[in-house]
Amino acid sequence: MRFTSVRLQNYRQYRDVTLTFGASSGVSVIVGKTGSGKTNLLNALTWCLYDEEAFGAAEEATRASRKSNKGMPLANIGPLGEQLQQGPLECVVELGLVDDDGRKAVIRREAAYVVNAEGVPERQGGSQLSVLRQNGASGYDRVEDPDHWISRRLPKHIRPYYMLNTERLNQFFHQGAESKRVRQAILEIAKINTLDRMKTRLRQVRDELLSAVGRSDKGGLLEGLENERVELDHRIEVLSSQIDSKTLNLESLERQMDALNDRMGDVDKASKAIADYNGVRERLQRLDEELEELDERMYSRLVTSAPAVLCYGAVSDLVLKVDEAWKAGRIPAPIHPDFVQELLNSHLCVCGRGLEADTIAREQVEDLLERHREASQLGAFLQAQRGPAAVLRRRAVDLETDLEPIRLDIRDKETQRDGLRKRLEVLEQELNALGVEDDLFQVLKAQWDAAVRQRDALTAEIPRLESKRESLQEDLGKVRKNIEREMKRRSDQQEHYKLLEFAEQCLAAVDHAHSELITETRLEVSSALNDSFLRMIWKDQTYVAASIDQDYGVGVEMAKGYDAAADLSGGEDVCLALSFSQALGRVSDFDVPLVFDSPLVKVDDEVKVLVAQTMLKNLNGRQLILLMKPDEFGAVESTFVESGVSSVVRIEFDEAAQSTTVVI
């Protein structure tokens, strides 16, 4: 890459200046007095590229200036004050260059300034960066990401080593974080950043994989599922074993029953015959009981009537005799006792006064009356026998008739009983034919009944167990699906582990390559540094080597063996810085122009030529832009001329116009 020109508009003391850099020898010299704007030219370049002025006044002064100007370090306010009062002022720096592929490009950064209400100018918003890149013959295209485009070609990390202001160098390699910047510069020039990015990406991949692996671990879910599956398997196995056992039992039972059936003949038929037989026998037993009851009724009736039957003749005679005695008057009619008493007291008296007491006559009369009264009582008794006698006679005569319904009932039931007995005989014959009476049959029958009960129990239990097993198998199916899912997840996890392992291996390889490359680059840069430094330095008896150690510290080894980097003089320090920059340039794949401000100011005149020669010798085709004071340039002008350097531009600060101009 080569810078071809830089145009500055309203930048510091530059009103509108364009500087072109010679292309013939690759070395351009811009000569100007102190305050002419050399360092601000360098600042214009860094502002254009990185939006910062790297070489302002001293750090503190720069900060103070920025503070007082309220963020206006750039614009050349003094001479543009009136213009600012009229409206916004555009500050622009345009850097023209030729890319490594030979295409031209323009980097443009601009910022607007206004005067605020207090009359103080301030920047309006941020700066705008744009890159236009030549697109064949048709013109220029706008680059979409100009910052990225610049960082790929002119990494900011190496800016301190290709844009140097030697006037402001002070223990350049011994500042706080210098070794880190040295390392960063070496990394950049070796394009090790690519490896760094690979490492970063690989680390990201690894972290993502680690995260994925972490997500895949469901806290022992698989182990839980496996345990559940094993338990379900076990339970199903137990159930299956039970079912098999019971099925075998059932089969065995059925075989036993077949065998029993063979031995018993037709058991169902026999059982039916037995049931019929028992039914008939029960009915017969009931009939016997009913007959017995009827017999009891008949006997009771008979016993009750027996006296009437046996004495029937006497009873009949009694009635006849009573009738005859009554008719013959042998039975007196009943006399009322009051009538007898009245008769004794009043009517049984010849003289009308009645019979006297204690007389024979009266005793005879009273005796007569007494016998008559007893006779009349007997008569009454006998007369009263007609009714009971009739009942007795009827009972005796009607006994047959009374017993007849019972007899009929008995006959009917006896007929039934006979029929049942015959039926019972037939059934007994059938049972005998079937061998039911046989003791062996009874034993077999008992076994059969027990087997039927057992079979019924088993046939009821087996479906229940099968249903339970089906339920468990459903559960097992679900668990197995879960396990499959988990196994797949584990498989993915294994894949992740493999990828992770691969990423780790890649990372290690890249790390190793990175380490080797950076070490190699460091050693190359160190060697180039040593070469340049020893050429520049005139104390070849004092300083024997310059190097970059493994901690990226830049050191200068003295003949006595200790590091003198911290003790270098200002000029020696400049030599070391320039040597480092050129070493980076020699080793670097980046074709970055070197821009040195006042490179020889701190160096004695005797040494200036030596340093200039070394610089020119070590260019290796790189562009070198030197911003030099007139006396500085004068000391080495002949050396430059001898080396073919023809591009020399002189600038001056016009105090009247308060701006820098180019002197042709």
Interface residues with another protein (CB under 8 A) are: 296, 298-300, 302-315, 317-318, 321-322, 324-325, 328, 330-331, 371, 374-375, 377-378, 381-382, 384-385, 387-389, 391-392, 396-397, 399-401, 403
Nearest distance, CB of residue 323 and another protein, angstroms:
10
Nearest distance, CB of residue 266 and another protein, angstroms:
46
Residue number, 317 or 567, with CB nearest to another protein:
317
Longest dimension (CA), the chain: 230
Nearest distance, CB of residue 309 and another protein, angstroms:
5
Nearest distance, CB of residue 391 and another protein, angstroms:
6
Residue number, 79 or 334, with CB nearest to another protein:
334
Nearest distance, CB of residue 294 and another protein, angstroms:
13
Task: For residue 75, give the DSSP letter.
Answer: B
Nearest distance, CB of residue 417 and another protein, angstroms:
18
Q: Are 212 and 495 in contact (CB under 8 A)?
A: no
Backbone dihedral region of 543: left (phi > 0), alpha (psi from -120 to 50 degrees) or beta?
beta
Nearest distance, CB of residue 362 and another protein, angstroms:
23
Residue number, 210 or 375, with CB nearest to another protein:
375
What are the strands, taking DSSP E only, across 12-88?
14-20, 27-32
Nearest distance, CB of residue 368 and another protein, angstroms:
13
Tell me whether residue 385 is exposed, middle or buried, using C-beta atoms within 10 angstroms of its C-beta: 0 to 12, 13 to 18, 19 or more. middle
Q: What share of the chain is helix, strand, coil (3-state, %, to 5)?
A: 65, 15, 20
Residue number, 361 or 384, with CB nearest to another protein:
384
Gyration radius of the chain's alpha carbons: 74
Residue number, 328 or 350, with CB nearest to another protein:
328
Residue number, 305 or 588, with CB nearest to another protein:
305
Residue number, 191 or 373, with CB nearest to another protein:
373
Alpha helices in 385-438 (DSSP H): 386-397, 399-434
Residue number, 35 or 337, with CB nearest to another protein:
337
C-alpha span between 375 and 381 (Å, rounded): 10
Task: For residue 605, give the DSSP letter.
Answer: H
- Rounded to the nearest 10 degrees, the angle between the axes of helix 386-397 and helix 360-384 is 30
What DSSP letter does each residue of 440-458 carry, written as one string?
Answer: HHHHHHHHHHHHHHHHHHH
Residue number, 100 or 324, with CB nearest to another protein:
324
**How many Cα atoms within 13 Å fall on the side-chain side of residue 436?**
21
Q: Which amino acid is at 506?
A: C
Nearest distance, CB of residue 321 and another protein, angstroms:
5
C-alpha span between 659 and 146 (Å, rounded): 30
